[in-house]
Amino acid sequence: MRPQNPNQEKNVRSKMQSAAIPVFRSKRTIVKRGFLYLAMLLAFTFIYTFLEPFWLETKTIRIADNDIPAVFDQVRIVFLTDIHHGPFFSKSRLRRLVQTVNRLRPDLILLGGDYVHRSPEYIEPCFQELSLLQATYGIYGVLGNHDHWEDPILTRESMQKAGIQNLDNKGIWIEKNGQRIRLGGVGDFLYDTPDIRPALSGLQSDDFLILVTHNPDFFEGQKTDMMDLAFAGHTHGGQVTFFGLWAPLIPSQFGQKYRSGVIQMGNAKLIISHGIGTITPPVRFFARPQIIVATLQAIDN
Ligand SMILES: [Fe+2]
């Protein structure tokens, strides 16, 4: 019905306007709230990326193999890599790491390199702390690209002083009660001349071989018939990932292939750790720092 006079028309118009305002306001409120929640989520994610590097995970893996001698059944291997002691990974944090590892009562400790970050001044303090590691069959390690950048000579000297045996392009036997396993190391893929031959030297096909190297790219195209178990780091699990599924930046020539986890290569298992520390910026997202604990399981033939 049409209003009879101008006053009536004015009243109707003002009623219509006042009815429209709440609708308009409520839409604006929803949009505002949406932005607020999004901002809160982004802020939480941003803060979380700085907290995840402290959220250390102990990842346990069982390795069952016919070549493991009975006397080495249940031997516990702890693999630590990419500690990156430096401006973002303090000495007290390193000390706590060593205490955590010793509490795991490892039989053998393997170190995958990249001990320090940004300066050679961290090398000696790092190995002073690592000298407190304890393992029945000893502690062995290789160098990573950061160790070659900082000071490989000082790194090897400091390792030796700390009672850690360098395994770059070397192989040794670990023996017990007349049985043995082979432990070998390979120099860094990018800054050393990796040579697997010393690790394979004197090896029989039924010997159990454990290999350690820094950069998993080394394993691409390698013959795996004599290998049983291998450890590598370097990729930091991508460090910042899309919910653990994919990482935009990986220091590998083979994309996501060697990012993280256990990769079956023929009969051999390659374990790639996320590592302990970080490179710059000191953040992680869905790539928690890891201590790897691999337990050997002998299988009766
Ligand atoms: Fe690293």
Residue matched to tokens 């039989």: 107
Residues with CB under 5 A from ligand 1 (ion): 82, 114
**Does residue 84 contact residue 146 with C-beta atoms inside 8 Å?**
yes
Ligand 1 centre to CA of 176 (Å) is: 33
> Which stretch of DSSP H or E encloses residue 232?
strand 229-232
How far is it, in rounded angstroms, from Cα 232 to Cα 228?
14
CA of 147 to the centre of ligand 1 (A): 10
Let me know: does 182 contact 171? Beta carbons within 8 Å.
yes
CA distances 275 to 52, 69, 177, 255, Å, are: 13, 29, 34, 18
Rounded CA-CA distance 243/263 in Å is 20
Q: What is the pLDDT of residue 190?
A: 96
CA of 199 to the centre of ligand 1 (A): 23
User: Ligand 1 centre and the CA of 214: distance in Å?
Assistant: 8
Output the CA 27–ligand 1 centroid distance in Å.
Answer: 49
Strand partners, 108: 77
The CA 52 to ligand 1 mean position distance, Å, reads 16
Closest CA to 133 of 156, 101, 161, 159: 101
Q: Which residues contact 43 (CB under 8 A, 6 or more apart)?
A: none
pLDDT score of 224 = 86
* pLDDT value of position 1: 44
Degrees (nearest 5) of the Cα angle 120, 124, 128? 150
SS (H, E, C) 64-94: EECCCCHHHCCCEEEEECCCCEECCECHHHH
Q: Report CA(236)–ligand 1 centroid distance (Å).
A: 6
CA distance 232 to 218: 9
Q: What is the pLDDT along the chain (301 residues), one digit of tens a residue?
A: 454 566 666 665 655 555 555 666 688 888 889 999 999 999 999 999 999 999 999 999 999 999 999 999 999 999 999 999 999 999 999 999 999 999 999 999 999 999 999 999 999 999 999 999 999 999 999 999 999 999 999 999 999 999 999 999 999 999 999 999 999 999 999 999 999 999 999 999 999 999 999 999 999 999 888 999 999 999 999 999 999 999 999 999 999 999 999 999 988 999 999 999 999 999 999 999 999 999 999 997 5
**pTM over cut 0.75:** yes
Contacts of 280 by beta carbon, 8 Å cutoff, 6+ apart: 88, 117, 118
